[in-house]
Amino acid sequence: MSFLQEKIHQLGLPVRPDDRQVLIRTLLEQEYGIIPPIPCKVEGRTVAEDKRFCAGKAPLQTIELTLTLPGGSFTFPVKYARPTAAGVHPLFVLLNFTANVPDQYYPAEEICDRGYAVLSAGYNDISKDAADDYTDGLGKLLREAAAQAGVPAQQLPGKIAIWAWAASRMLDWALTQPGVEAERTAVIGHSRLGKTALLAGMLDERFACVISNASGCSGAAITRGKPGEHISNITDVFPFWFCENYRQYADNEAAMPFEQDWLLAAIAPRLLCVSSGLDDQWAGPSHEFLGCVAASSAWEALGKPGFITPDRMPAPGDALQEGSISYHLRPGDHYLSREDWGRFMDFLDGKGWRK
């Protein structure tokens, strides 16, 4: 048994089912909550355009997206920056902590200069990051629709599921725009929004790549044996991110019938990027890395290269990008940096995303 295989064996992970739908159903029922299929019309209206953005190389549009569901409608703003150069541009769908462009986690000019477009939204414009009892807005519409479809109260969607659902609606609109191809679209997020990106990518197979930066507990990191944050910590402070069922595993993680490698494995055979900061021990970089190791066999079972790594734990500066799973470990703490963005684009460039 190799060094990394022994590491995984010592964690005592539950056996992962081969059936992808079983993975998805278990994670939704036990962790994130269920949003059933809901008819939704997506319409976009441009309300502003800055043609001088990025020195005119990538005009910035502000668009109001209106989602019309059987129970009502909801509108939120998105920002669309697309290089003016001719041709198809790979697209990032970014859920961010603010709607600002650029912002500390979103170096817009550097990204557009690399030939990538970005459709971004501030997550609080979708559903407030708070225990708001879902009395209005998109959360109310989605939870009411779920309840009417027979979803039990303990499995109703939390905020991460609501944000993830909205990311797919952003993609609905993006795919109506010239120069956007589903085969070169990626969903990306940092921290709690890294968890959201993983869930959005698991549920929406149109995303050709899923990118999770420092998603940690309840994201890319294996829960069992993890340093830093655990289910008891996260559900004490942010219970509304998840369905009610998840709280039963606080201080009871050995009883979980699933693990976070299931979330990663359900993305196969598409591309996956996971990244960590060396000093971000609350997120647990060691267990984000081990999540990639444990999930790799899902790609291999589908005839794709999974996670290609030396048989050791990662070292600062490692960028492991040969397989379908990319992992990098950079120096520093909990942050989505220009270095991280550069690594993601290096990986996608290496997969032929820019033509």
Which residues participate in catalysis according to the annotation? 191, 334
Residue 144, helix vs strand vs coil? helix
Query: What tokens were used for 315?
Result: 């070292």
Task: Give the CA radius of gyration of the chain.
Answer: 19
Tell me how far apart the alpha carbons of residues 202 and 325 are, in angstroms, rounded to a whole number.
14
Residues 6+ apart with CB under 8 A from 26: 17, 257, 258, 262
DSSP state of 22: H
Residue 102, preceding bond cis, omega within 30 degrees? Answer: yes
User: 181-198 in b/e burial notation, b at 16+ Cβ within 10 A?
Assistant: eeebbbbbbbbbbbbbbb
Query: What tokens were used for 52?
Result: 């001088």
Phi, psi of 18 (to 5 degrees): -75, -25
Residue 120: strand pairing partners: 79, 94
Token pair 């990191």 is at which residue? 221
Residue 271, helix vs strand vs coil? strand
**Nearest-CA neighbor of 264 among 314, 322, 215?**
215
Query: What tokens were used for 261?
Result: 């490698």
Q: Cβ distance 188 to 94 under 8 Å?
A: yes
Residue 37, preceding bond cis, omega within 30 degrees? Answer: no
Tell me how far apart the alpha carbons of residues 70 and 36 are, in angstroms, rounded to a whole number.
13
Tell me how far apart the alpha carbons of residues 268 and 263 are, in angstroms, rounded to a whole number.
10
